[in-house]
Chain A
Amino acid sequence: MSTDNRQTNTAPSGGFSLLGWTEQLSETQFAYLLLVPTFLVLGIIAFWPLLRTFQISLHKDALIGAKAFGSFVALQNYQQLLTGTGSVAAMLSRPFLPDVTLSGSFPFVDVKNVFTSAFSVTLIFAVVSVAFETVIGFGQALVLDQNFRGRRWVRVAIIVPWAVPVVIQGMIFYLLFQPNIGFVVGPLHQWGLLSSTPLSNSQDSLFIVIVADIWKTSAFMALLILAGLQSIDRGLYEVAEVAGASPWQRFRQITLPLVLPTVMVAMLFRSIQAMRVFGIINTVSSCSTVPSLTCLTYTAWSQRLYGSSATVAFMTAAIIALLVGFYIFKYREEAV
């Protein structure tokens, strides 16, 4: 075999010269070489659509004529989207950003349309749902990590919501919050928590959508965190117990630091999903009542406003990229 090698090296021709060349590469270079096909595939299925979306977002919407989009307007669509002026802002079903005005008196900032602007609605949804799902999921994972009688049934009970398809989940919550059908609207309305027709009210609907998402997705967090918990060396707890550590100290000093990287990864996945929320909104309420970023992209697209739709889509991708960047930064900090 080594003789073959030498021959190839001395007589570089055709495909064999390439093979010879691979032998000269360092371990890192070779690893990257092997990754090239993956990058190519990723490029085709991920980066090309992203670039194409960006390219379309630099064009005006075409309402008349057979063309899909109009003339090149550079970044004007972005400027109109962010300032809430011009044709992009006028044609979109809901504004992208809430109205923020500064005032001289407390609280100095007056924010309007928080529950009807795509960015604020999506952000509220993502932050609140991910926070609750993490805490609840963590709690569920801690329970599942214990050995007790009937643990198998508890596991099933916790995982069941995760197995429910989004349309059925949507239907459950839709019916639950239909006055005269669902039993929860009456009492919640009497306690002043919801209006009498919550699914036609943006604020109430957002609350309902968040609750629906927490109900379903906490199980996902629980499963990921459970995997992290189970990879912790049990010996550490025994040592801590012998050393007289209280349960809280054991959690604080062992469980939390060791499971934190897993929790961060789980939160990252959930946050990306939450920033793209669409299905649960569409099934429980409507994109008009709870306008998430994806909803805005979708409604603009179905109204054939391709330029505007691409602009919102690219902004959504950029926001998610920022979010991912933030998590990766924090993750590296944790790791260091």
Chain B
Amino acid sequence: MWQTKMANNQPDSTVSSPVSRRTFVKAVGGTGAAAGLAGCTGGGGNGNNQSGKTTEKSTTTSSMSTTTSSSSSGGKTTISWAANPQMSDNADKVKEALYNAGLSKDIEIKLISGAWETGKRQQKYQLWLSQQKATPDLLLMDSGWTIPFIARNQLMNLSDALSGDVVKGIQNDYFGSSLSSAQDHDGNVFGVPFFPALPTMQYRKDLVKKAGYDPEGEDWATKGISWKKFSEVTAKTKKQAGTKYGFTFQAKAYEGLSCCDFNEWMSSFGGAYFGGLDNLFGPIGDRPITVDEKPVLDAIKMVRTFINGQSDPHSLDGYTGNIAPESVLQWSEETSRKPFTNGDAVMHRNWPYSIKINGKDKNFGTDLGVMPVPWGVKASDAKYKGTGGVVASLGGWNNTVNPSTEHKEAALEVLKTTMTDSFILDMFELIGYLPPKPKLFNSDKAKSAPVMGRYMDTLKVAGENAVPRPVTVAWPSESTKISQDVNAALGGQMSPSDAMSKLKQQLNAIEQSA
């Protein structure tokens, strides 16, 4: 058909086809070469243009390094800091707080906004650090995945880089559990805790009081209560106040279950993933796996009782049931918070951000009570040291330094400034980040902060009883299996003991493979 058309178009020419081939190949070759050249020139020009300007949105390393070098030549050094979106949203105030805390005006700060979702941030950092890019100079890292970066030699060893006094200060002044998420096996410090995230139990103080309890008299805020009492209080208050739910929490099969909710139940009963807390960070493959022990099974049975009541074949004796909806198996932070904020629940377990929301005057104001997450067994009766009693699973973020930075001194200067009390308290006031140093919880400035100030005593207790997740290089794989099996056990797809035996096997396989 193609040939016919060609022939029809040029009926007079007997050699029409070869000639048009010549012309065609020539034309295409010529156009291609011209387009290629134009593309190269255009691309080059474009590149130059891009590197000459520093757009707010641009996070590409090329543009950042250009910024750094050009600024350096003008006598100033720019330090780029990969931080949280809330910080870049308040960039001017964060910078002002740094200068107020004594940072040299010769150092300029460029805040780079990271993704909201922690996993995405981790991938981006992975890319930057694997390529040994010089920027960002400082990186804010989730305490849940700082250790894998340490294991891959991708962070600056601060024990070497900072003076002995400063390192000692970090070791003495910060929450020990926060710091342990940024150290290697030999105790070398690779990150400085920036703010801890500590979960607590929020409750409707007004409803609980009406049901006949006395949270203030019994000092729930710092002493906490047992899970057994908690279940009674919730059931009675729910019945009396006629709320839709009793207790809302997070039990979806996701990181939040394995790192946090389940970790808390298990620890509060004296159980642990890998025996004592000494084994939290390794040695991988050479530590006991203790997820099939009684305290862990009891914790699962208790939550099944909360959901299904005593009719559940795997309920825990002595605990009041039917206080939590089955939907918790699909809920994460926000899905579980909303019913509580709407007034549909009595109790709610969540991170500090939600205290700030629920404690606003337009929501519950001073009717919001906050206490530590309850205890299953007393710390003195717990099988493993560091477990039992009131607990809080530890979240939070650490500041780390890029080992390939071209401005090591300036970067360390900024890091040291972030460790000053003045800057930490400014961040608490500005964004609501909890201080990483226990002593600051008692400061006047912290206690006078709106909403959060009222609950500082409880948050301090949570910080002192924080249990970190067992982060090692194997944790991402282990966490997935834990959340799958625990969710299945809570949902009744498996019995607690079957689920935990299966989990033990899976964890063992991972430990042996890592």
Contacts and interface: CB of A to CB of B under 8 A. Distances in A.
A262 interface: no
Interface in A188-222: 195-197, 199-201
Chain B interface residue bracket vs A: 35 or more
Interface in A281-333: 286, 288-289, 299, 302-305
* Chain B CB within 10 A, most for which of A91, A94, A179: A91
B3 interface: yes
A196 B326 CA distance: 7
Contacts of B474: 63, 91
Interface stretch (A64-72, A154-162, A268-276): A64-72
B493 A90 contact: no
B254 A286 contact: yes
Interface stretch (A22-30, A141-149, A245-253): A22-30
Contacts of B513: 86-87, 90-91
A178 B130 contact: no
B21 interface: yes
Nearest to B490: A200
B226 interface: no
B130 A299 contact: no
Contact of B509 (A5, A19, A90, A303): A90
A1 interface: yes
Interface residues of A, number: 42
A199 to B, nearest CB: 5
A221 B359 CA distance: 52
Contact of B151 (A15, A64, A93, A180): A64
Contacts of B29: 15
Nearest to A19: B22
B297 interface: no
B22 A302 contact: no
Given A288-B483, A304-B148, A22 B22 contact: yes
A89 B491 CA distance: 25
B477 A197 contact: no
Contact of B510 (A30, A66, A91, A200): A91
B331 to A, nearest CB: 9
A86 B335 CA distance: 38
B327 interface: yes
A37 B154 CA distance: 41
B153 to A, nearest CB: 5
Nearest to B491: A200
The secondary structure that dominates the B interface is: helix
Contacts of B25: 18-19, 22
B21 A30 contact: yes
A197 B509 contact: no
A2 interface: yes
A304 B253 contact: no
Interface in B493-511: 493, 506, 509-510
B362 to A, nearest CB: 23
B480 interface: yes
A302 B154 CA distance: 17
B119 A302 contact: yes
Contacts of B327: 178-180, 197
A157 to B, nearest CB: 31
A286 B253 contact: yes
Interface string B323-347: 0011101100001000100000000
Contacts of B202: none
B310 interface: no
Given A23-B22, A303-B476, A304-B126, A179 B512 contact: no
Contact of B480 (A2, A8, A288): A288
Contacts of B22: 5, 8, 19, 22-23
B19 A2 contact: yes
Contacts of A18: 25
B26 interface: yes
A22 B233 CA distance: 90
B491 A197 contact: yes
Contacts of A178: 327, 330, 335
B130 A23 contact: no
B123 interface: yes
A290 B509 CA distance: 22
B477 A303 contact: yes
Contacts of B130: 66, 68
A236 B474 CA distance: 67
A18 B28 CA distance: 14
B514 interface: yes
A209 B8 CA distance: 55
Contacts of A19: 22, 25-26
Given A180-B327, A197-B327, A63 B514 contact: yes
A298 to B, nearest CB: 10
Contact of A23 (B18, B491, B512): B18
B393 interface: no
Contact of B326 (A37, A197, A289): A197
Nearest to A8: B22
A313 B25 CA distance: 39
Contacts of A196: 326
Interface string B237-270: 0000000000000001110000000000000000
A253 B26 CA distance: 51
A200 B491 CA distance: 8
A15 to B, nearest CB: 8
Given A23-B18, A302-B119, A180 B325 contact: yes
B119 A23 contact: no
Contacts of B480: 93, 288, 299, 303
B152 interface: yes
B136 to A, nearest CB: 18
Interface string B95-139: 000000000000000000000000100110010001000000000
B506 A90 contact: yes
B370 interface: no
Given A22-B21, A23-B22, A90-B506, A197 B329 contact: yes
A2 B474 CA distance: 74
Given A90-B506, A303-B477, A199 B330 contact: yes
A5 B15 contact: yes
Interface in A88-146: 89-94
A276 to B, nearest CB: 20
Contacts of B326: 179, 196-197
B373 interface: no
A197 B151 CA distance: 39
B419 interface: no
A305 B483 CA distance: 19
A197 B330 contact: yes
Closest 5 CB pairs of A and B: A87-B513, A90-B509, A23-B18, A63-B473, A303-B476
Given A68-B130, A197-B330, 14 more contacts: A19-B22, A22-B22, A30-B21, A65-B153, A86-B513, A90-B512, A91-B474, A93-B480, A180-B339, A197-B327, A200-B329, A200-B491, A201-B491, A288-B480
14 contacts: A5-B15, A8-B22, A15-B29, A19-B26, A27-B3, A89-B509, A90-B513, A178-B327, A180-B325, A197-B326, A200-B252, A200-B329, A200-B487, A304-B476
Interface of B: 3, 13, 15, 18-19, 21-22, 25-26, 29, 32, 119, 122-123, 126, 130, 148, 151-154, 252-254, 325-327, 329-330, 335, 339, 473-474, 476-477, 480-481, 483-484, 487, 491, 493, 506, 509-510, 512-514
Interface of A: 1-2, 5, 8, 15, 18-19, 22-23, 27, 30, 37, 63-66, 68, 86-87, 89-94, 178-180, 195-197, 199-201, 286, 288-289, 299, 302-305
